[in-house]
Amino acid sequence: MNETQTYTIKQLADMASVTTRTLRYYDQIGLLVPASTGGNGYRYYDRESLLRLQQILFLRELDVPLKEIRGLLSQPDLDLQVVLCRHRTALDGRRKRMQKLIETIDHTIANLKGENKMTDKEYFDGFDQSQYEQEVNERWGDTPQYAESQRKWKSFSKEQKDAILKKSGELTVRMVAQADSSPDDADVQAVVGEYFTHMNQSFYTFNLEFFRNLSDMWVADERFAANYEKVQPGGAEFVRQAVHIYCDKHQTPV
């Protein structure tokens, strides 16, 4: 790129595969301010803008919240080369983990088709949920559901725990893998019903409203949504819609 070359918002959006709406929002929150604005109100971006947007997108790939990205990129002593090296290290680690998860998905699908056999432990190759444990405790630690789930889980034998986790994984894959269907399809709704029953029997007792809210969280929280998207693009939103339909159909009339 020429040092003096500038881009319109549409040109930069197309180049970075983002929407102009996203760039306008970044401008609004002070994350990516245009290099200049013409008398006609058009935004223009330069090479520095391009590099800053690259950093934003790298950090978004690493699930860093926008507020934290703004603070990080506002540091006066920011060394771009050092930041890029850190990005590379983090993304390489993620690449290896994603490859392992892809292999787990392929093996699970083949297992469901009866083409291979998996040990209970192999259903969870590549997963690392330890990063969520503290947050889960902070968010739900005082709720009756969380306390009940802890009591139930401690009462299970290792064999029972393995079986529960195995079925949870199978049901999740079955729900998300049907994202090409309509969320109100009978087969989709049947799997959602199995998941609802499994959660009640295995972890804690929750009503339809709690189930509905839980599905909303799967979409709203990018980290949870990402787990569904890895199985099938649009998987998180598809499951949310399917859960809402299930809850609407089974809600007791007031």
Question: Which regions in the chain score pLDDT beneath 50?
Answer: 1, 129-138, 140-141, 254
Q: Using the structure block, give the residue that is written with the tokens 């998996």.
A: 118
Residue 49: what residue type?
S
Q: What is the pLDDT of residue 134?
A: 45
- Cβ atoms 25, 38 nearer than 8 A: no
Entry pTM: 0.45
How many alpha carbons fall within 13 Å on the CB side of residue 27? Answer: 18
* C-beta separation of 238 from 232 below 8 A: yes
Q: What is the pLDDT of residue 130?
A: 45
The two structure tokens encoding residue 12: 């930069």
What integer pLDDT is reported at residue 146 of this predicted model?
Answer: 57
Within this chain, domains 7-78 and 138-250 share the same CATH topology: no
Report the CATH number of the 7-78 domain. 1.10.1660.10
Closest to 212 in 3D by CA, of 227, 198, 226, 192: 192
Domain boundaries, the chain: 7-78, 138-250
Pairing status of strand 36-37 against strand 43-45: antiparallel
Q: What is the pLDDT of residues 61-113, one digit of tens each?
A: 777 778 878 888 888 777 877 777 877 887 777 778 778 778 888 888 888 88
Fold of 138-250: Globin-like (1.10.490)
Q: Is 176 exposed, middle or buried (0-12, 13-18, 19+ CB in 10 A)?
A: buried
